[in-house]
Structure 1
Amino acid sequence: METWNQNPSDAVRAHTPLLVNRRIDERVEGCVRYMAEKGDRAEMSRYLERLEREWDISRAISVSTAAMSALGLLLGRRDGGGWRVLSAVATSLLLQHGVFGFGPLSEVFRALGVRTRREIDLEKFAIKALRGDFERIPNDGGPLAKANAALVAAQS
C-alpha cells in the first residue's frame, strides 16, 4: 500500500523506531483492508465504537504517571518519604511528555502498540469512508484500491 501515514509534526511518531511505526501502520492497513473486503456496515459501526473507546498514548501516559505519583505519595507516607521520589519521577516524565511530545514512557507504550490520537482518528475516518459516510471513496476498483483510497482520504 502507498505510504499514507506521514506527518512530520507528530513528535511521538517521529521519535518512535520505524519498525514500531510500521507494525502499527500494518495493523491499521490490515483492518481497513478487511473491512473493505467484507463490506459489512454493521461490523464497521461496531468497530468504530471500539475505536472511540481506545486510549491514545497521551491518555495512557497521563493515567500511568498519575498512578505512579499517587503510589509514591501513599508509600512515602508509610515508609518515611523515600518513595516520594517515585512521585517526582512520574511528574517529571509527564512534564517531559507535555513539553516535548514524547519521552521514555512514549517508547514503552509505543512498543506495546499504543497509538497516538491522530493514528486512531485516521483509522476511524478510513472506516467511516468505507462505510459510506463520505463521498470521496470511489466504488470502482477492488477492496485493496478502496482501502487505500480510504486511508488517503482520511489523511487529507
Structure 2
Amino acid sequence: MESWNQTSTDAVRIHAPATVNRRIDTKVEECVRCMAERADRAEMSRYLEKLEREWEMHRALAVGGSALALLGLLLGRRGGPGWRAVSGVTLALLLQQGITGFGPLSAMVRAWGVRTRREIDLEKFAIKALRGDFERIPNDGGPLARANAALVAAQS
C-alpha cells in the first residue's frame, strides 16, 4: 500500500512535511488493514460512527484560533496590550489560512496528527468498502489485498 494517497492536490498535504503525511497515512493503513483482518461488520459500523465525529483540521483551526483570539482579548483587558497582540497575530494567521489554505497554524495542528476532511473521508470509504457497501472489493486475496483494494476504491 505504498502510494494510495499520493495523488492529493490538497494544499495541506502539499505543504506538510512528508513525514507527517506518511505518519497519518500509515495510521489509516493500519486501521483499514485491522478492519480487513477482523471482518466484523458491527465493529466497522462503530468505527465509522467514530470517524463521523472526528474533527477535521479546518474545524480544529477555526475553533482553536477563535478561542485563542478571544482569550487574548479577554486577558488584554486586565493583563495589558501584549495579550491583544496575541489576538491580532492569531487572527492574521487565520486570515492567511483562509486565503492560502495553509499556514503556520496548520503546520502545528497537522503535526499533532489532525487530518483533513478528505483524509477522514478516504478512510470512511475504505471501511465502507470493506463492510460491503460497494461492489468493487474482491473477497479473495486475503486481508491485505482487500485493504489495498478498499483504499484504492475510496480514492476513485
When normalised by structure 1's length, the TM-score is 0.96
Equivalent position of 1:75 in the other structure: 75
Identity of aligned residues (%): 73
Report the more deviating stretch, 117-126 or 87-96. 87-96
Equivalent position of 1:123 in the other structure: 123
CA distance in structure 2 between the partners assigned to 1:113 and 1:134 by the alignment: 29
User: How far off is 1:42 after superposition?
Assistant: 0.4
3-state SS, counterpart of residue 81 of structure 2: coil
Report the more deviating stretch, 25-34 or 1-10. 1-10
- 1:25-36 maps to which residues of 2 (within 5 A)? 25-36=25-36
- Counterpart amino acid of residue 152 in structure 1: V
- Counterpart amino acid of residue 3 in structure 2: T
Gaps of 5+ in 2: none
Equivalent position of 1:114 in the other structure: 114
Matched pairs, number: 156
3-state SS, counterpart of residue 83 of structure 1: helix
Task: Confirm whether residue 20 of structure 1 aligns to residue 20 of structure 2.
Answer: yes
3-state SS, counterpart of residue 139 of structure 1: coil
3-state SS, counterpart of residue 61 of structure 2: helix
- 1:1-156 maps to which residues of 2 (within 5 A)? 1-156=1-156
CA distance in structure 1 between the partners assigned to 2:88 and 2:7 by the alignment: 33
Gaps of 5+ in 1: none
- Counterpart amino acid of residue 53 in structure 2: R
When normalised by structure 2's length, the TM-score is 0.96
CA 1:8–1:134: 2 relative to 1, 3 Å? closer
User: How far off is 1:135 after superposition?
Assistant: 1.0
CA distance in structure 2 between the partners assigned to 1:95 and 1:52 by the alignment: 27
User: Residue 2 of structure 1 contacts residue 148 of structure 1 at CA under 8 Å; is this kept in 2?
Assistant: no
CA distance in structure 2 between the partners assigned to 1:8 and 1:46 by the alignment: 27
CA distance in structure 1 between the partners assigned to 2:8 and 2:101 by the alignment: 13
User: Residue 69 of structure 1 contacts residue 91 of structure 1 at CA under 8 Å; is this kept in 2?
Assistant: yes
- Please list the CA deviations of residues 60-92 of structure 1 after superposition, one character each: whole Å capped at 9, or x if unmatched: 110111011100110111234331111111111
Cα RMSD after superposing both structures: 1.0
